[in-house]
Every structure is written in C-alpha cells, then in structure tokens.
Amino acid sequence: EVQLVESGGGLVQAGGSLRLSCAASGFTFDDYAIGWFRQAPGKERKGISCISSSDGNTYYVDYVKGRFTISSDNAKNTVYLQMNSLKPEDTAVYYCAVLPRGRGCPRGLVSPPYYWGQGTQVTVSS
C-alpha cells in the first residue's frame, strides 16, 4: 500500500523556521518525483515545490523560492521541506504527493498526483 506521511508542522512566529518531512513507502521511491502542495482556508490547493528522486532536479514557485528548500534522503525514502523566513501568508495545510510517472518535476506538479499524504498544519502568527 502506498503511504505518504507528513510531519513537522506547527505554530511559529513570522520569521521563524520549520522543517516538514514526508515519509514514503509502498512504491519504488527512485522512480517518481515528489511534490509539496499547500492549501490555505478558502483557497485552492497549489503546488509549491517538487524534487525528482532519481536525478535531484528541484523546482520552486516564485513566492517560496529563496526561503524554502526541498531535499530528499533516498536511503530513508523521505523528502524534506525546510521553510525559513516564514510569513503569515504561508499559513496552510501542507501536503506531499507522488507526481505522475513520465512527467516528473516540475511538469508533474501541475498534473493530478497519483497519491496524497494526509497533510500537516503550518500556522505562522504575526
């Protein structure tokens, strides 16, 4: 069974940092790209970053680039999202997802993912 488990969310003040983890199992990790998405209350879910586990290619949307860093530990089948200089606008539920094979990163970030994790809440206070 494919499983993606996010962790590391919480409440931080503006300017603070969090590191999210996405632990993957049930599939060949190196064959797929992994994306991070977020959904704020009342807004659509949007892809913000992705990584290709096979070659390490990464992508960031403009509003997180320079503040967020995606990485992977293939030995642990885990993808991380280091979030620095957090802003109240970053408040959302953060999800990781398996991107469609054959599209990869970043093309797969705008396609329906194969699988979603359950999400982890990130709240940034003023």
Mind listing the pLDDT tens digit for each residue in 2-58?
Answer: 999 999 999 999 999 999 999 999 999 989 999 999 999 999 999 999 999 888 899
Instruction: Give me the pLDDT at residue 30, please.
Output: 87
Instruction: Give me the pLDDT at residue 89, please.
Output: 96
Instruction: Give me the pLDDT at residue 67, please.
Output: 98
> Phi and psi (nearest 5°) for 77?
50, 45
Mind listing the pLDDT tens digit for each residue in 71-119?
Answer: 999 999 999 999 999 999 999 999 999 999 888 899 999 999 999 999 9
Give the position of tokens 């704020």. Answer: 40
Question: Among 104, 98, 58, which Cα is nearest to 81's?
Answer: 58
Burial of 20 (0-12, 13-18, 19+ CB in 10 A): buried
Instruction: Give me the pLDDT at residue 47, please.
Output: 96
Instruction: Give me the pLDDT at residue 36, please.
Output: 98
Instruction: Give me the pLDDT at residue 102, please.
Output: 84
Instruction: Give me the pLDDT at residue 76, please.
Output: 95
